[in-house]
A and B are shown apart, each in its own frame.
Chain A
Amino acid sequence: MEALTRYFGDSRKWKDGMIYIAIVAIVLIFSLLVPNFFSPENWRAILTSMVLVTVLAIGITFVLTAGEIDISLGAVLSVTPTIFAVLLGKGMPFFLALVIGLAATLLLGFLNGFVTIKLGVPSFITTLGTMGIGMGLSRIVANNTPVVVRDDTVQLLFGGELLGMPKIVVWMFVLIVLSYILLHKTRYGRNLHNVGDNREAAHLYGIHVTGTVIIAFVIASFFAFFAGMLEVARSFYASPGIGEPLMLNAIVASVIGGTALTGGKGSIIGAFVGALFLTIISNALFSLGLPPWISNIIIGSVIILILTTSGLMDKRKHELGRI
């Protein structure tokens, strides 16, 4: 392994690039196995089905960059849609209903940040709690059943098509671009990286650590909100629990895309590529007539493969003696 590393030069670039290699590999494999793999219809299907996971993955990338974790996003996804749908159904104007719904979601994000940073509760536990709150709240509001939303404004903003693609796909790309700029090009984004990399150094550098982390959680909840609204536009329903199965996939997408679980290194593009990777696999398996749980096995194995190889290549990690 070390000879290979030396031969191929900068091991760090290769370690980060693993997901890109993997995705090229599976695209090649599946293009041979799956008929019509490269057809526009198929790719339209892939892009459409990856929207929710991608947006959630972007949200969680911010939190991971701060060195924390957020498992509540999948549940929080349904909070604004259900509140919005119910209020809309009661005759409230669009804008007011949306703002109230959004406020609830952002409040949960703020709660995550506050409890984690100010009260010192590990973020895994905090977001375990808000996950329960989100699951319960969305079901209580909607009385545990999908609420229909046939609103013109919603469809105008998020539904239908634009430039030949579903608007939700366009929004996904817009969000990718915006979040890329925010996380990688702005002062806040770099501050966030600093906090995740070395909290003490960030403090000494004059960065407001508490505020930075809380904002990261709020940003994540905002993306959960957005994902929820995109789903409403797509399905015409606000369904409690629709995002919950996607949470783990979102984390996986972000992590195999290169975002470090320990913080200090985030990648929006990586999150997108990771989500693409996961979606291509399930899409291809579906086309091949294979049951969906095979994709779980493949994805699980790929995670282990990618992370183990890059972990063994990372010499930095071997501090504890010769282990």
Chain B
Amino acid sequence: MSVHSDEVIVKVEGVSKRFGAINALTNVSLSIRKGEIIGLAGHNGAGKSVLTKIMGGIYIPDEGKIFYGGQEVKLTSPKDAQERGFFVVPQELNLARQLSVADNIFIGQKEYANRLTGIVNKRYINDESRKLLKQYFNIDVDPSTPAGELDTVTQRIVQVVRCLRAGAKVIVFDETTAGLSQMEREKLFDHIRILSQKGLGIIFITHMISEIMDICHTVSALRGGEVIGTEKVENLTPAKVIEMIVGSEDHVFSSEKSSPKSHTLLSVKNLSTRDGRISNVNFDLRKGEILGIYGLRDQGQTLLLELIYGAAKRSSGDFEMDQEKLNIKSPIDALRKGISYLPERGLKSVFATKSIRENMLVQGLNFLKKGTPNHKKMDDKSIDESIRRINTRGYSSLENRITNLSGGNRQKILLARTMLLDPKVLMLLEPTQGIDIGAKNEIRQLILQAAKEDKAVIMATAEIDDIVGVCNRVAIIKEGKIKTIMDATEENRDRILEASS
């Protein structure tokens, strides 16, 4: 790893940012030097994205100062930061889908159109785009293709090319390696190294330790919105990095796992989709068992769960519950058979402008029959009791909007709502994503509790701690296939990590 210069390009000092009741960042300071590749490590929700968004002019800090080239600046928009050379390649692909690749690279910039007439320099931007994509990434893309038609990897590359072309001095790569194959990742890293040699500062946000060790000069660990430490990577080992991120032993989750019964509750056979994004998946699920699905991002985890839930179309495959064949064509069928699904945090699970009560009751209203014991549990007093029992905090009445609660508390409510139906099989997608460590552990405990009550749980997650701490077995998923299923023990941690990459 080459040594970088000492000249600081961008610096933040004492930056703090609050969102409502949540302290996203507290007194954070960070410097990026010319040619330095600095890794920002930390759990989801630690504040990595928020920090770079403040540096990039997307958020305005409540306290603290930002310095560009030694001078204090006040950024009011992304354009301010971009004009100073600070670019963010965001986690969520955000291209104009119907516009061409060339448009996405050049629009909003001086060179996009003739200064006098305003006519777009179509030939120029097409030729240049083609050249740049070839030059930087050695790929051939027709620059007039609408961006939405490209695969996710190429879309990301287009975003990067836009930054480079616009004269970036600092580029933030926010979880950019998601979905990339080993070879593509290596290529990306080669380009990042070249950029670093050219004097660009790179901020590399990732939660994968291996990537930090591979490409970063320095690593800054964030936890709970605070910088725990900044160290040269050459002075660190992977274990030390993990320690920086995770912190003290108190936070490590250790609880007795459930003991699965021998009775097979759910059987999945020969599950495939027509386009092959899932092919030939087989597994059994026992009563009281927690099965983890682990893999890199976009390997088919979401699709797998949605197929079982009836929210996606399968081309082949059988489901059997208690030896009875299931015909699931929609979530309604699944719920009637006792299969519940909690999607990842966000738009698929939460009714943002509605109250806690309304979010709690949406499934119960439709699926609990009058006269059953659970149906009686839908009055205010029972709901309140049940969510307090799982330590939900931050609300004064069930009328409060659910968005007033923190992520962790919200997730507890969604979990409680799923449990209200007393499902036989519980499927969860990234149940602890983006939540602070305290709430994470509480949710893990709740999931274990469900298994101990003889429910069967399938949990797809990218958090290795979820797998090792909670699951009995783990299925490694890669490119839509289950590579292997092994015991989810602490001893197997490295094997699990290896098998998935």
Contact = CB atoms under 8 A, between A and B. Distances in A.
A197 B97 contact: yes
Contact of A194 (B103, B109, B113, B329): B103
B96 A194 contact: yes
A322 B98 contact: no
Contacts of A206: 78-79, 82, 108-109
A104 B112 CA distance: 34
B84 interface: no
B119 A198 contact: no
A322 B330 contact: yes
A184 to B, nearest CB: 9
Contacts of A191: 107-108
Given A201-B96, A202-B96, A264-B97, A187 B330 contact: no
Contacts of A207: 107-108
Interface string B91-114: 000111111000110011100110
Given A321-B331, A322-B311, A322-B330, A190 B95 contact: no
Interface string B62-99: 00000000000000011100100000000000111111
B118 interface: yes
B311 A200 contact: no
B226 interface: no
Nearest to A182: B118
A205 B312 contact: no
Contact of A321 (B79, B94, B98, B306): B306
A203 interface: yes
A187 B78 CA distance: 20
A205 B108 contact: yes
Contacts of B119: 181, 185-187
A321 B334 CA distance: 13
Contacts of B330: 321-322
B348 to A, nearest CB: 10
Contacts of A139: none
A276 B30 CA distance: 62
B310 interface: yes
A200 B78 CA distance: 11
B154 to A, nearest CB: 16
Nearest to A203: B78
The CB with the most chain B CB atoms within 10 A, among A186, A203, A265, A322, is that of A322
B109 A190 contact: no
Nearest to A188: B118
Interface residues of A, number: 25
A188 B114 CA distance: 12
A186 B121 CA distance: 9
Contacts of A200: 94
Interface in A161-206: 181, 185-188, 190-191, 193-194, 197-198, 200-206
Contacts of A265: 98
A264 B146 CA distance: 11
Nearest to B309: A321
A205 B158 CA distance: 13
Interface in B36-85: 58, 77-79, 82
B103 A190 contact: yes
Given A194-B99, A206-B78, A186 B120 contact: yes
B429 to A, nearest CB: 15
B313 interface: yes
A264 B120 CA distance: 17
The CB with the most chain B CB atoms within 10 A, among A187, A206, A265, is that of A187
Nearest to A185: B119
A67 to B, nearest CB: 11
Nearest to A318: B313
Contacts of B107: 190-191, 194, 205, 207
A206 B87 CA distance: 12
Contacts of B331: 321
A188 to B, nearest CB: 6
Nearest to A262: B98
Contacts of A205: 96, 104, 107-108
B343 to A, nearest CB: 11
Contacts of A316: 148
A321 B311 contact: yes
A198 to B, nearest CB: 5
Given A190-B107, A201-B96, A204-B94, A322 B329 contact: yes
Contacts of A321: 306, 310-312, 330-331
A127 B78 CA distance: 31
Nearest to A198: B96
Nearest to B80: A206
Contacts of B79: 206
Contacts of A185: 119-120, 122
A197 B118 contact: no
B311 A190 contact: no
The CB with the most chain B CB atoms within 10 A, among A190, A197, A200, A203, is that of A190
Contact of A190 (B77, B82, B94, B120): B120
A190 B78 contact: no
Interface in B127-176: 148
A181 B118 CA distance: 10
A71 to B, nearest CB: 24
Nearest to A208: B79
Contacts of B122: 185
Nearest to A193: B99
Contacts of A193: 96, 98-99
A207 B331 CA distance: 41
A187 B113 contact: yes
A187 B97 contact: no
Given A194-B107, A206-B82, A321-B330, A187 B95 contact: no
Contacts of B118: 186-188
B108 A197 contact: no
A316 B148 CA distance: 10
Contacts of B112: 187, 190
A191 B106 CA distance: 11
Contacts of B329: 322
Given A205-B107, A321-B311, A322-B313, A186 B113 contact: yes
A322 B99 contact: no
The CB with the most chain B CB atoms within 10 A, among A201, A202, A205, A260, is that of A205
A185 to B, nearest CB: 5
B416 to A, nearest CB: 24
Contacts of B94: 198, 200-201, 204
B116 to A, nearest CB: 11
The CB with the most chain A CB atoms within 10 A, among B108, B306, B311, is that of B108
Nearest to A200: B94
A41 B70 CA distance: 75
Contacts of A194: 96, 99, 103, 107
A197 B82 contact: no
11 contacts: A190-B120, A194-B96, A198-B94, A201-B95, A202-B96, A203-B78, A206-B79, A207-B108, A265-B98, A321-B331, A322-B330
Q: Nearest 3 CB-CB pairs, A to B? A: A187-B113, A206-B108, A205-B108
Given A187-B118, A193-B98, 4 more contacts: A186-B119, A205-B96, A264-B99, A322-B313
